[in-house]
Amino acid sequence: MKKLFLTLSIVLLSACSGTNFSSSVPSMPVRIDISILGEYVHFTPNNAGAYLEFLKPPKKYTEAYGYAGVVVYVTMDARYVAFDLCCPHCLNPVKPCRMDNGQSSNAKLQTGIYAICPTCGEAYDLSYGLATPTNKNLKTKEALRQYNASYNSATGILRIVN
Ligand SMILES: [Zn+2]
C-alpha cells in the first residue's frame, strides 16, 4: 500500500510539471534568472498582474528566451508563471504576443492581464496562470506554451527554465 502511494505521488508530481503537455510552439531553450532581491525588487508575488517581457535577442549570453520571447507574470493568486510569447495559432517567432498595458498603482511596475497576438488579435488571459485564448470569434483553442518558474527564497533568484 505504501509503495502504491509513492507511485501515485510520483505520477501526480510529474503531471504538475509545466512543460509536459504538447504544444504547437516548437521547443527551444529557456533560461532566465531574475534577481528579485537585486534588479527587480518590485516584482514580488503581492503585485498581482505585474509582468516582465523578455524579447529576443537575449541581453546576456547565459540567457535563452524560448521560441518568440518569454513573459513572466504574477498571477491573481500570487504565483509566478512563465509563457512563450509565440501565438500557438500563428506560430510566428518574429511577431510575438505583447502584454496589454493596464493601470498600475506602482509606477515601477508594468501590469496587465492579456498577451495579445499582433497578427490574429487573439488575447490570452494570464490572470490565473492558464494563458488560454479568450476571443470567441477566433478558432484558437491552444494556450501559450508554459515554462517552469521557481523562486528560491534563499538566493532571491526566480529561475525560468523549460
Ligand atoms: Zn496569433
pLDDT tens, residue by residue, 15-62 = 444 445 689 999 999 999 999 999 999 999 999 999 999 999 998 999
What pLDDT digit, counting tens, does each position of 61-77 carry?
999 999 999 999 999 99
- CA 102 to centroid of ligand 1, rounded, Å: 21
Burial grade of 4 (CB within 10 A; 0-12, 13-18, 19 or more): exposed
C-alpha 99 – ligand 1 centre gap (Å)? 13
Residue range 2-161 in CATH 2.102.10.10: yes
Residues 6+ apart with CB under 8 A from 36: 43, 44, 151, 156, 157, 158
User: Residue 28 has what pLDDT?
Assistant: 96
Distance 136 CA to ligand 1 centre (A): 14
Whether pLDDT at 78 is above 50 = yes
Q: Where are the domains of the chain?
A: 2-161
Distance 81 CA to ligand 1 centre (A): 21
